[in-house]
Amino acid sequence: MPSMANFNYVDGVNPNLLCCICRMPFNDPFTTQTCGHTFCRDCILQSLDHVYQCPIDRQALTADDLKPADSIIRSLVDELVVECTNQTCSHICQRQLLEQHLQSSCPYVEVPCPSRGCDQIMLRGEAVNHRCEYSLVTCDACDTEVEAAQLEDHRIQCYQQLTTCDLCGLQFQRSAKSSHQNSCPESPMQCPQQVNGCSWKGKRVALHSEHISSCPYQALSGFFSIFHERTQVLQDENTVLKRRVESLQTQIRTIEIQLQSASLALGPWFRNSNLGLSSPETSISDTLRSPDLPSHQRPRLQTVSSPRSVPEGDAFAAYFPPQEEIQSYERQQLSAMERPAPDRHLEHPVRSIHRNSWSLGQGWDALHTPASRTSKQVASAVAPLDFSCTLEGTLEGLRESIVALSTSMETLGRRNDIALTNETLRLNEELMSLKANIHGLRMQMHAMMMDNAQLTGRTDPLLFENSFPTVSTHRYHYMSNTQSATKL
């Protein structure tokens, strides 16, 4: 088989199993009896056509000196795993089994049509579904297999022949076989009311002559037909309802997911709207839409921190402590400079439900603490966040606080500016008077030094005229220092 030279080996091959001529694993290996070298049979025979020498050691060699290689070598190369030589086939197997695969099972091998007489060539994989005029088909009248092209001719003859019914012994033409099967009095039948529960079985003749007239189910056939009709209507209705429930379930699931994300985003306020829901006379939309709650609800909702009035308030009391708690907490913080308290609060069960509350609590903490720390007055002026109020109400309140804060900051800034200007003016004046004092002192000092120079007899007018007094004194000190240093 020429294609055998084109094996694709799946794994790496031991170099000792490679033929020196084709550099591939031995294919049908033969060994020289003279020098013990092994080659593929085809390779060494081709080489011997060229020159009567061993290609490796150039010893004289003829085809008679070759014998099949050792069975160990043969099995080593025969058991190497190769791909099927048909590119489209993904089959891999031992090399010795590939021929078998190609001959009998590879679906990509071209084979003739399995029907005798047809000379079409096709892939083996396609031959199973191949239909042609030579394909065998079964005659419906006599159950024999005939070629498709001859079926018509066969039927013309076959249909005319007489046949005998196995059950009733009646003789008829084969063409009438199927119609007789539907009317043979001896053929086994079941009661037509079987669907409604009749278990009678018997011959066709007995069915019509005996059973139908006495069958209790047959007597009720009118009822059954009405009953069936109604059942059908109910079934249809049920199907529609089932579909509706399914769509509603999906909608609920979507809404649940949306609600979950909304609750995550809202944090503690989400629970608050639940509180609104828990009172039967208030709908969720009422609580959400009207920032101004009906007056009778306000006092109740504002006492969230008291655990007696609202059970959930307990959880939030940790987050939003009343005024005294905040102040005591501050004192605690200022003295100990440790902050375990807020984190422990956040470990509360609520956190697992509203994960956002963690960052929210921190934000509140960060915003609120420094403001109250700067001045006790401000801290007491700002009320703690009221989580019992609606979200919109709280936001509105916060916005108002911010507006007020910015206004007061502006005022503060302006006041600061004025104070600063006043102070600057005052300082300027002081500076001027100091300057005048210094000038007077300088003049006095100058006069004193001139006197001193005249007394010691050292006149150095340049030094005094051109130099700034501070510089000259510095130089003077420096000189005296060096002098003393050299003396020492």
Q: Which does 207 bind (CB under 5 to 8 A by kind): Zn ion, another protein, none?
A: none
**Residue linked to tokens 């196995």:** 166
Q: Which does 350 bind (CB under 5 to 8 A by kind): another protein, Zn ion, none?
A: none
Buried (b) or exposed (e) across 173-210, using 16+ Cβ within 10 A? ebbebeebeeebbebebebbbeebebebeebbeebeee
Residue type, 152: E
Q: Which does 167 bind (CB under 5 to 8 A by kind): Zn ion, another protein, none?
A: Zn ion
Please state, in angstroms and as integers, the Cα–Cα distance from residue 211 to each residue in 126, 186, 215, 220, following that order: 54, 15, 6, 14
* Contact pattern for another protein over residues 2 through 31, marking x by CB under 8 A: ---xx-------------xxxxx-------
Q: Report which of 107, 72, 79 is spatially closest to residue 91, judged by C-alpha positions.
A: 107
Q: Which stretch binds Zn ion (CB under 5 A): 117-125, 246-254, 294-302, 420-428?
A: 117-125
Among 4, 93, 132, 317, binds Zn ion (CB under 5 A): 132
* Contact pattern for Zn ion over residues 79 through 98, marking x by CB under 5 A: -----x-x--x-x-------
Q: Report which of 23, 25, 46, 44 is spatially closest to residue 35, judged by C-alpha positions.
A: 44
> What is the nearest approach in angstroms of another protein to the Cβ of residue 56?
5
Number of residues counted as binding another protein (CB under 8 A): 17
Structure tokens at 406: 């910015």
> What is the nearest approach in angstroms of another protein to the Cβ of residue 26?
14
Among 141, 207, 275, 301, binds Zn ion (CB under 5 A): 141
Among 47, 187, 303, 327, binds another protein (CB under 8 A): 47
Contact flag: residue 35 with Zn ion (CB under 5 A): yes
Q: Which stretch binds Zn ion (CB under 5 A): 46-54, 339-347, 393-401, 466-474?
A: 46-54
Q: Which residues make Cβ contacts (< 8 Å) with residue 273, sequence separation at least 6?
A: 266, 284, 287, 288, 390
Q: Which stretch binds another protein (CB under 8 A): 40-48, 117-125, 271-279, 317-325?
A: 40-48
Q: Report which of 381, 357, 388 is spatially closest to residue 291, judged by C-alpha positions.
A: 388
Q: Which residues make Cβ contacts (< 8 Å) with residue 267, sequence separation at least 6?
A: 354, 356, 357, 360
Round to whole Å and give the CA distance between 197 and 227: 14
Round to whole Å and give the CA distance between 331 and 335: 6
Q: Report which of 357, 350, 265, 254 is spatially closest to residue 311, judged by C-alpha positions.
A: 350
Which residues make up the interface to Zn ion (CB under 5 A)? 19, 21-22, 35, 37, 40, 43, 54, 56-57, 84, 86, 89, 91, 106, 113, 115, 118, 120, 132, 139, 141-142, 158, 165, 167-168, 170, 184, 191, 193, 198, 200, 215
Residues that bind another protein (CB under 8 A): 5-6, 20-24, 43, 46-47, 49-51, 53, 55-56, 58
